[in-house]
Structure 1
Amino acid sequence: MSSIDQLFNNTEFVGRHIGPSDQDTRQMLQTVGAADLHDLMQQTIPANIFRTEPLALNQAENEAQTLKRLKAIASENILNTNYIGMGYYPTHTPPVILRNVFENPGWYTAYTPYQPEIAQGRLEALINFQQMVMDLTAMPLANASLLDEATAAAEAMAMSHRVVKKNKSNAYFVDQNCHPQTIAVLTTRAHHFGFELIVGDIFTDLENENVFGALIQYPDTRGSASDLTEVISKAHDKNAIVTVATDLLALCLLKPPGEMDADIVIGNSQRFGVPMGFGGPHAAFFACKEAYKRALPGRIIGVSKDSNGQMAYRMALQTREQHIRREKATSNICTSQALLAIMASCYAVYHGPQGLKRIAERVHQLTCATAKALNNAGITTNQTAFDTLSLAAADQTDRLYQAALDSGINLRHTDDETLGISFNEETTVDDLTALFAVFGLSSEALDSQITDAVSLIPADLQRQSEFLQHEIFNCYHSETEMLRYLKRLENKDVTLTHSMIPLGSCTMKLNATAEMIPVTWPEFANMHPFAPEAQTRGYQKMLDELHDMLVVCTGYDAVSLQPNAGSQGEYAGLLAIKSYLESQGQYERNICLIPSSAHGTNPASAAMVGMKVVITKCDADGNVDIDDLKDKIAQHRDNIACIMVTYPSTHGVFEEGITEICEIVHEAGGQVYVDGANLNAIVGVAAPGKFGADVSHLNLHKTFAIPHGGGGPGMGPIGVKSHLSPFLPGNPLDDAETNTVSAARFGSAGILPISWAYIHMMGSIGMRSATEIAILNANYISQRLKSVYPILYTGQNGRVAHECIVDIRPIKEATGISEEDIAKRLMDFGFHGPTMSFPVAGTLMIEPTESESKAELDRFCDSMIAIYEEIMKVKEGIWTLEDNPLVNAPHTHESLMTDSWDHLYTREEAAYPLASLRHNKYWPPVGRIDNVYGDRNLFCACPSIDDYTD
């Protein structure tokens, strides 16, 4: 590199992403007993997989260079006026929500609310989402979101089969007028569940079929809306479960499916203020009848009470979580779209019922005025509609479509004789004037035409019932009040803006501001997922570059960017394996070997693709028991499809036998799936595609800096070796493609600029350094804590990988204090607790990531040591097991302000266990929440204001 290159090659971002300074690193290496980082890596990583050659990535760029480069790429996108529809619409994100939620790290750096005491803000926003969905669909129960509408439809199909009674059919009916991307995802899911998928006219064909369930789009993909009461009744007469896919904005004017006796109602909340983002991320919704509440997929937010008798929110029925149920899971969904659901719910709170109705009425008026003008010109359109018109354009279809493109307008090219026009809240009168010109229509007196337009919603389909009558949707319509409400919610939660979130296997690392900025650029945010390819060249360029960089980082030959969550990545990877084996005529290979230490979603995903799960043992050191693996292979040799192994292991060590494991499985004719959840300990120092793996999913929301968003968004692309690449997920709009797992071709493409920017700013050296420091930080914590908390598993040289497991079982046996007590007490110190009781019951799993400074690591270790000293006071009898700061944690400011204090410890010991907390104290908003009470008294709607005051 020349001196000029050195002068302008500013790699300052790497030092800002990585927490410890050079001096800190030297001190930490001395503490752990390693000469330098290379020495530590040699002690930690097996020699036969250790990579010393640099990654073939560009040199690191600084923030300004990266943003300039990405802006140039984004400018290659063309943003036409968009009328494509198909479930995706331009929308206006209110600036108060854009700035204070979407662009606010106080919201997007939060973790999944498994520790509800420090997640009350996002839990309230999510229960608002549930209430919004319940009201608009007229259903009694809703979850806190799913990944996208097509996934929600697939989950509804699976749930229908589980809950249906007196019906032995294995066939599922899908109306031909459902969105095509939904049908594509259903086709994949049905094939591997062994269901027969029947696609036809719901009004004429269903009565002739024996099915366990049916899916109807309302309004349908062509825009028509019909009363479904009779067809639903006929389906019920056949003991079939009926799912209705719908549109929340349309339901402000249309009779809701719940009033037609629908069993399940699904859809997408995207048009409630969430940008299209070339397909995502968006929060799907899922509502159902009360009878199915324990079969409902995804997460449900419920109301419980805390130790002070105060109302509090929590994730209800957590034992339904699919990673807990493992191979008995009914789904592999382990995430939601929390951040996007929060945005959608805030949109409803801000606009309220009247505001939403005004938006819906305006969209409908534009639709009706256009229909009238087209009909007067001799162009036939659908007779009922909310926002979408299908035009019978006959031999003029191609000409009109091209004329629209030439005018900067995107219509939907539905088929050879039909065009589609879908209106949205951002459609203006000027837009309508330009649209009319395409069809040779006069726009004179357009205002009066819009005003005088006759509704295309029949009287019997017009909504009569009220919605969003709860106080929460009728209080915050001024920006001042909305801003304060959002800030109150934000202040209740612990996020990365407060402190380290030391969750094992979750990699809560820095989500740099420079990485986040491009997500809201219009060129990325406002792109329709089905826009013509000529308009998406910027996206394509960015995605191609990200693909190539991920190939370099993983050692694979190809990557699919479609899976929009880690669970979807697992599913897509196993589909590729299964399809490959079937292409070789090896249909009998249906066994998936999974070590007992694996992530719980692994067996859940295997069950979803129709594989039989066989669990293999781990040895005393937490490694895969290779002798047991050989025994299992000997038993099932001709039926082995694959093994799913997490590397480094969920036990936090680099297993020495990983290459042998790969060789053993390959020799038996199986494939090797390496779970990429822990890839943050691999990039630059090892590569699964090089040491024997055939496929991995990559958690971009972990290793590659996309934020967790309070439980979503996530992205789980898969990397594969070349022999599996023909079986990667296909384009949902291409009938010839297979293995489609998401509604959009590139999943949640709107957040992929984050990972693109992260890799560009880190560069080859920075990516490796991030891995090395992540391993150093974990070993530093292990070294500091091991004198008081036993470290359960270590590698061959006593090293841990990116995380360590501290064993609380001896403490509990000696004192009665549990891992949960420690996690709750950490809240008083301002920390989120580590991962509890996973992968081993009675333990805490800690992962610091590379982004935390030595000062923060020390603050966490000091807190854990202080808690140990408190435990010793219980052991010594100074405090009783019934009354001590741990079992009573967390302590709210309200609990300390009582007139009397009858505890064995002081208020000061409760609130300020470390002197440093006096200068920066986070106060948990509620005391410890009663989980059992919340499940026994399941209540998942917004409580009244009176419940707060009571």
Structure 2
Amino acid sequence: MNTNAFALRHIGPREDDQKQMLKTIGADSIEQLIYETIPDDIRLKKDLDLDEAMSEQEYLVYLNDVAKKNKVYKTYIGLGYHPTILPAVIQRNILENPGWYTAYTPYQAEIAQGRLEALLNFQTMVTDLTGMELANASLLDESTAAAEALSLLFAVRERDQKKAGINKFFVSENILPQTLSLLQTRANPIGIELVIGNEETFDFSTEFFGAILQYPGKNGQVTDIKSFIEKANSNNIKVAVAADILSLVKLEAPGKFGADVVVGTTQRFGIPMGYGGPHAAYFATKEAYKRDIPGRIIGVTKDANGNRALRMALQTREQHIKRDKATSNICTAQVLLAVMAGMYAVYHGPKGLQNIADKVHNCATTLAKALEQLGFKQINTSYFDTLQIKTDAKTIKKVAKQKKVNFFYPDAETVTIALNETTSVRDLNYIISIFAEVANKEAQTITSITEDTAIDKTLERTTDFLTLDVFNTHHSETELMRYIKKLERKDLSLNHSMISLGSCTMKLNAAAEMLPLSWFKWGNIHPFAPLKQARGYAQILKELEDQLTEITGFAATSLQPNSGAQGEFAGLMVIKAYHESRGDHHRNICLIPSSAHGTNPASAVMAGMKVVVTKSTEEGNIDVDDLREKAELHKENLSALMVTYPSTHGVYEASIKEITQIIHDCGGQVYMDGANMNAQVGLTNPGNIGADVCHLNLHKTFAIPHGGGGPGVGPICVAKQLVPFLPGNPIVKTGGEKAITAISAAPFGSALACLISYGYIKMLGAEGLKKSTEIAILNANYIKHRLQGAFETLYSGERGRAAHEMIIDCRPFKAHGIEVVDIAKRLMDYGFHAPTVSFPVAGTMMIEPTESESKAEMDRFCDAMISIRKEIDAATKDDDNNPLKNAPHTLAMLTSDEWLLPYSREKAAYPLDYVADNKFWPSVRRVDDAFGDRNLICTCAPIEEYMEA
């Protein structure tokens, strides 16, 4: 046995365990199990062509060598990305802490109160700085957030009779270039006409329903957004503002001027640039638009005892309910990054942020004065951190390059310099030396930073922010460390027990995959840095693209989409572009099976397609006859089929090749949702089943951690005919020859997080990847077999096997008065996070153990489920005073002097012997979702305000 092999560490069951498990499920070998599970006609005939697996040590040495190819210059490019200082206490206790990065989206609120509080802090920080009433718990990046603002204002317009039918949207020419590209991507499919112009000459015509401004503008000028918003409001034009969050410490909040939406990125709050991500965007709006806000909102409610509790508010999983009528396809956030940015505000507090913003601004005014003394013309009249110099850009660029400094060069006569929190007096003198050399003059040495201001008096901030205790009490490292630990203890993560969520693949996020995220040469590259400075990234990203292309059986890959939902949208937009290139502009029908992921219909609508739902059979498979009938009916206008494989019901449908052929015969393309790719890698692939494009959830199959609901990466892999249309970027050339406009802000999306998946593939190799898929299937079938008799599995393959996940039916327990949610809450008392509840079938649980879980852990889970089944049998419909209905049981309940329940404290808290060895205590009792939605509070309001509400 090679004890250095990474596969040995990644895969849970030992060899002897695997033999026992095979015996339990009645299979002689893994090969027999796979034969009985996967249809033979879609099996790969040869192994994947990938490099030989590396050990963890070999990989880390190798990646350190590649990192040396990245050149970290002093960078003043700006455009929404800045060098930052990540406080070590946040790096060590959050970014590098599996208690934070391995948590799942907080759908089970009782065991996620820590993360929920951290996100409530984030929302409060955003509402305070923007002056808005409501913020969500983050979006993917600033440009995506701006595109969501466009969609929200368009939806609001639909309800305004005066604006009915109006589709023009004004975009300031000062908008970030990547944001303009994304607005174009999102506007065209849904019939919005973008008009780009100068905000100072805009005529506020009644032909417009909305507008977006950049604050400060892309070249640093702070324009008079106050006057613009006042005129827009008087003309019934809604206004979105894309605002630099650090500048809002100095500039008045857009909400105070009457803005309708404020968006931006929180990257400046201590998050490394990471060649483009991941970073948490923010989205803030008015309470009047609470039903239209995309993504997730954390709200305050009460638990069963009437105590304050937190949970996700309003449209929790709304994509799975509203489907094609959903607000957005965005069902993910950047939770880990939002937590870090929120903690940055907690750590520094209002005074600390004021000091940072003052220093950045004063550095800018000091530099401006020095450059003017050298004879350079600085043309921004009001600015926060960015100077705009009119000069011969080519000459400056040549000298700056020699001195290893990056400025930005919008045109041949302009240089912009964006300063940041890392900028020192020494840095200012170094910048001045570059311009002095070009001017052939002696530069005066700056010895201190002046306190001059260059912000228009009418736009200076006068309102307080971050006044609550949480932002004013944790400024020493000791205090913050303890606060972070206090929150962490309230959250159940993978470092405590198995999280067996179907469709979500909560596998090991190995330490060796995660370590490089903290390395200086990966974290400090600007996404728009010259490509020669990012050769290490170029190598890794190209290799990862090639690896994913090989694994999926396709021709090319784009890493740009930075979530699974973005990947869905990108795949459909590429299909749309392909049809249009052939003159088939009318092809707009998207067939979607009724069992599909809820984000699928929402993505299709965003891509300008009309959704036609196809039926499922009683066995949970796609109804091929119904699909064929609808494909034929819409043959002339058929654009695509969206299909998940194996199906969302956890079955490898034997008819998949017939299904894809039907679509191709009718002129359509097949999009495969890659959510269940963990059941394909090395055994079959999307190309083999006849798909044309698939997205991959790198935060599922390829080991990027969920981080409490993000970071994610959702690349798309495409067949040969779709390669020319892969998405581009307005600053760094990416994508195909006929590239569609941007899908996310950065050229390669969340490039830093891609290192994790690269390491996962590099250390497992072809054999390890295939073995992982096989064990994922073995583990699922083992749990299926162990639960037989206690829980009925809803769907199985033709030979009775499950794929990598399966659905158990909890609907019959209603006869005992027990709902599926009661089982979910009771599992907390046994130390487990519930499997996926009521998706894709109401009243069921979808279980996916992943290949990383040991036999011992799965046995504990199965023992818990079987014990719960006995508790269900003992329950009666007439009496809901039982362990399931009262679950979860908190430490406060168990240590109370009073115990009036008809079962023992031991049964409540320690229902099986193993629980006592590693007890996890939910920090609140069952939360009241409905109360929280009726009394919406989404900031850290004082408890008195909450009680009054």
Q: TM-score, normalised by structure 1?
A: 0.97
Tell me how far 1:210 sits from its aligned partner: 2.1
- Give 5+ residue unaligned stretches, structure 1: 1-5
Kept in 1: contact 2:76–2:417 (CA 8 A): yes
| Structure 2 CA distance for aligned equivalents of residues 901 and 815 of structure 1 | 24
Q: What amino acid sits opposite 1:417 in the alignment?
A: E
| Structure 2 CA distance for aligned equivalents of residues 237 and 406 of structure 1 | 52
Partner residue of 1:478 out of 476, 480, 483? 476
| Structure 2 CA distance for aligned equivalents of residues 282 and 489 of structure 1 | 21
Rate the CA distance shift 1:709–1:790 in 2: closer, same or farther, 3 A: same
SS of structure 1 residue aligned to 2:377: coil
| Structure 1 CA distance for aligned equivalents of residues 334 and 296 of structure 2 | 10
Kept in 2: contact 1:187–1:197 (CA 8 A): yes
| Structure 2 CA distance for aligned equivalents of residues 945 and 482 of structure 1 | 22
Partner of 2:759: 757
Partner residue of 2:922 out of 903, 921, 924? 924
Partner of 1:3: none
SS of structure 1 residue aligned to 2:634: helix
Q: What is the 5 A alignment of 1:681-700? A: 681-700=679-698
Tell me how far 1:881 sits from its aligned partner: 3.4
Rate the CA distance shift 1:10–1:899 in 2: closer, same or farther, 3 A: closer
| Structure 2 CA distance for aligned equivalents of residues 640 and 55 of structure 1 | 33
SS of structure 2 residue aligned to 1:506: coil
- 2:511 pairs with 1:510: no
| Structure 2 CA distance for aligned equivalents of residues 899 and 733 of structure 1 | 66
SS of structure 1 residue aligned to 2:32: helix
- 2:565 pairs with 1:563: no
| Structure 2 CA distance for aligned equivalents of residues 535 and 319 of structure 1 | 42
| Structure 1 CA distance for aligned equivalents of residues 279 and 151 of structure 2 | 21
Partner of 1:437: 433
| Structure 2 CA distance for aligned equivalents of residues 319 and 102 of structure 1 | 26
Partner residue of 1:398 out of 394, 397, 401? 394
Kept in 2: contact 1:804–1:847 (CA 8 A): yes
244-253 vs 51-60, which deviates more?
51-60
- 2:853 pairs with 1:855: no
Q: What amino acid sits opposite 1:426 in the alignment?
A: T
Tell me how far 1:414 sits from its aligned partner: 1.3
Q: What is the 5 A alignment of 1:725-874? A: 725-733=723-731, 737-812=739-814, 814-874=815-875
* Cα distance per residue 1:330-388 (max 9 Å; x no partner): 31101000000000000000000000000000001100001111122221211211000
Q: What amino acid sits opposite 1:636 in the alignment?
A: H
Count of equivalent residues: 935
| Structure 1 CA distance for aligned equivalents of residues 321 and 702 of structure 2 | 26
* Cα distance per residue 1:638-697 (max 9 Å; x no partner): 111110010000000000000000111111111111110000000000011122000000
Partner of 1:599: 597
| Structure 1 CA distance for aligned equivalents of residues 880 and 369 of structure 2 | 74
Tell me how far 1:236 sits from its aligned partner: 1.8
Partner of 1:197: 194
Kept in 2: contact 1:665–1:671 (CA 8 A): yes
SS of structure 1 residue aligned to 2:409: strand
Partner residue of 2:261 out of 264, 276, 283? 264
Tell me how far 1:226 sits from its aligned partner: 2.6
- 2:551 pairs with 1:553: yes
Q: TM-score, normalised by structure 2?
A: 0.97
Partner of 2:580: 582
Tell me how far 1:71 sits from its aligned partner: 1.2
Q: What is the 5 A alignment of 1:897-936? A: 897-936=895-934
Tell me how far 1:567 sits from its aligned partner: 0.3
| Structure 1 CA distance for aligned equivalents of residues 235 and 66 of structure 2 | 54
| Structure 2 CA distance for aligned equivalents of residues 269 and 483 of structure 1 | 21
| Structure 2 CA distance for aligned equivalents of residues 71 and 517 of structure 1 | 11
Q: What amino acid sits opposite 1:167 in the alignment?
A: K
Partner residue of 1:294 out of 287, 291, 295? 291
Q: What amino acid sits opposite 1:234 in the alignment?
A: K
Tell me how far 1:898 sits from its aligned partner: 1.9
Partner of 1:417: 413
Kept in 2: contact 1:815–1:881 (CA 8 A): no
SS of structure 1 residue aligned to 2:369: helix
Partner of 2:182: 185
Kept in 2: contact 1:323–1:332 (CA 8 A): no
SS of structure 2 residue aligned to 1:883: coil
Q: What amino acid sits opposite 2:36 in the alignment?
A: Q
Partner of 1:140: 133
Tell me how far 1:943 sits from its aligned partner: 3.1
SS of structure 2 residue aligned to 1:621: coil
Percent sequence identity over matched residues? 56
Kept in 2: contact 1:137–1:265 (CA 8 A): yes
- 2:169 pairs with 1:167: no
Partner of 2:610: 612
Partner of 2:310: 313
SS of structure 1 residue aligned to 2:383: coil
Partner of 1:219: 216
Q: What amino acid sits opposite 1:546 in the alignment?
A: L
Kept in 1: contact 2:641–2:669 (CA 8 A): yes
Q: What is the 5 A alignment of 1:74-153? A: 74-153=67-146
| Structure 1 CA distance for aligned equivalents of residues 288 and 902 of structure 2 | 47
Q: What is the 5 A alignment of 1:343-354? A: 343-354=340-351
Kept in 1: contact 2:817–2:880 (CA 8 A): no
- Give 5+ residue unaligned stretches, structure 2: none
29-38 vs 375-384, which deviates more?
375-384
Kept in 1: contact 2:347–2:471 (CA 8 A): yes
Tell me how far 1:913 sits from its aligned partner: 0.2
Kept in 2: contact 1:142–1:288 (CA 8 A): yes
| Structure 1 CA distance for aligned equivalents of residues 694 and 309 of structure 2 | 39
Partner of 1:42: 35
- 2:279 pairs with 1:277: no
| Structure 1 CA distance for aligned equivalents of residues 226 and 428 of structure 2 | 35
Partner of 1:26: 19
| Structure 2 CA distance for aligned equivalents of residues 834 and 315 of structure 1 | 18
Tell me how far 1:11 sits from its aligned partner: 5.0
| Structure 2 CA distance for aligned equivalents of residues 186 and 857 of structure 1 | 47
* Cα distance per residue 1:251-306 (max 9 Å; x no partner): 11111111111111000000101101101000100111121111111111000000
454-463 vs 912-921, which deviates more?
454-463
| Structure 1 CA distance for aligned equivalents of residues 819 and 317 of structure 2 | 23
Kept in 2: contact 1:112–1:711 (CA 8 A): yes
| Structure 1 CA distance for aligned equivalents of residues 107 and 932 of structure 2 | 14
Tell me how far 1:26 sits from its aligned partner: 0.3
Q: What amino acid sits opposite 2:377 in the alignment?
A: T
Tell me how far 1:445 sits from its aligned partner: 4.9
| Structure 2 CA distance for aligned equivalents of residues 947 and 311 of structure 1 | 12
154-163 vs 199-208, which deviates more?
199-208
SS of structure 2 residue aligned to 1:215: strand
* Cα distance per residue 1:47-95 (max 9 Å; x no partner): 0001242111112110010111111111101000000000100000000
Q: Indicate the RMSD between aligned Cα atoms, in angstroms.
A: 1.5
Kept in 1: contact 2:82–2:420 (CA 8 A): yes
Tell me how far 1:442 sits from its aligned partner: 5.3
Q: What amino acid sits opposite 2:765 in the alignment?
A: G
- 2:234 pairs with 1:237: yes
Q: What amino acid sits opposite 2:840 in the alignment?
A: P
SS of structure 2 residue aligned to 1:155: helix
Tell me how far 1:949 sits from its aligned partner: 11
Q: What amino acid sits opposite 1:599 in the alignment?
A: H
SS of structure 2 residue aligned to 1:48: helix
Tell me how far 1:318 sits from its aligned partner: 2.9
| Structure 2 CA distance for aligned equivalents of residues 320 and 766 of structure 1 | 34
SS of structure 2 residue aligned to 1:545: helix
Tell me how far 1:430 sits from its aligned partner: 1.5
| Structure 2 CA distance for aligned equivalents of residues 136 and 158 of structure 1 | 23
* Cα distance per residue 1:212-241 (max 9 Å; x no partner): 110000111111113312111221222111
